[in-house]
Structures are given as structure tokens and as C-alpha cells.
Amino acid sequence: MVKPNVRTSISVQIGLLQGGACCLLTIGRICGFFAKLIDGGILPANAMNYGTTTALLCASILGAWITCARIREKPLLICLLSAGVSFLTLIIIRILFFEGGFHRIGVTALLLLGGSLIPALLVSRARGVRKKNHKKYRSRKEKKKIRIGKYY
């Protein structure tokens, strides 16, 4: 009986779709949370600037992490693609709903790019680079010297 491979990866399109959807939902939730706090009078009105920055950074980290975990191939490229999908989606939302206001678009791009690079670096670091163990060739005289040096 053949065991099914549990750790299979899914297609790039589906992984990017899942990561992008998670990113947009996270942005909406965090911004809604900050808006509720501002509306209730708990936070001042200028706290929304920090709220959107936090939302973009957290959402890009979460979206890239989910995308990278689903696809499991080339983490740096996949996380950059995830940031691009999230950025293009936010641009389309700005054009459709906010009449194309493109102020602070560079900050948005940098936050999404920086946030999506964090999971790529963490996944690359966790997998690590496999090193080959190369044994050095030593003559018999060198081996004797090493053995004698250890015991005396």
C-alpha cells in the first residue's frame, strides 16, 4: 500500500489567491478594529495613520506566509509575487472606490514589500543550506601525529 504524500504543494495561482484573500481580509479587519476604537472615542482621530501602517505590515506578513506555506517552492519569488498581488489589488480598490487617489502609494508599496520579505527570509533560514561533508585526505604520518598529540 502506497502512503499518500501529505506535504504536497498546490499550484501557484491557488496559493497566490489564498494569500491575497487573507491579506485583504486582514487589512479590513485591522482597519475596522481601529475605526471602531476611534468612533468610540478610545483613540484619537490621527491614530488611523498608525492603524493602516500596522494593517498593511501585518497583512503582508500573513499573506506571504500563507502563500509560501501553501506553495513550498522558491520562497523569495513566491513572497514577492504575493506582495505584488496584494499591491495590485489595493491599487484596483483605490481606483474603483476612492476615485484614484494615489497619495502615499510608495509607502504602501514599501510596507507590502518589506512585510512579505520577512516570511521569505524566515522560511529560507529555516530550510537552511545543506552542506556536504567533505573528509580531508590525511596520510598515515599525519594521522599518527594527531593520535599522539591527543593522548600526550
Alpha carbon distance 124, 52 (integer Å): 28
Angle 12-39/48-71 helices, nearest 10 degrees?
Answer: 160
Reply yes or no on whether the pLDDT at 21 is more than 90: yes
Over residues 55-98, the pLDDT tens digits come to: 999 999 999 999 988 888 888 899 999 999 999 998 998 888 88
If pLDDT is split at 50, 70 and 90, which confidence band does 152 have?
very low
Look over the chain and give the mean of its residue pLDDT values, rounded to a whole number: 81
HSE of 76, CA atoms in CB hemisphere, 13 A? 4
122 burial class (0-12, 13-18, 19+ CB within 10 angstroms)?
Answer: middle
Assessment of whether the complete model's pTM goes beyond 0.75: no
Reply yes or no on whether the pLDDT at 2 is more than 60: no
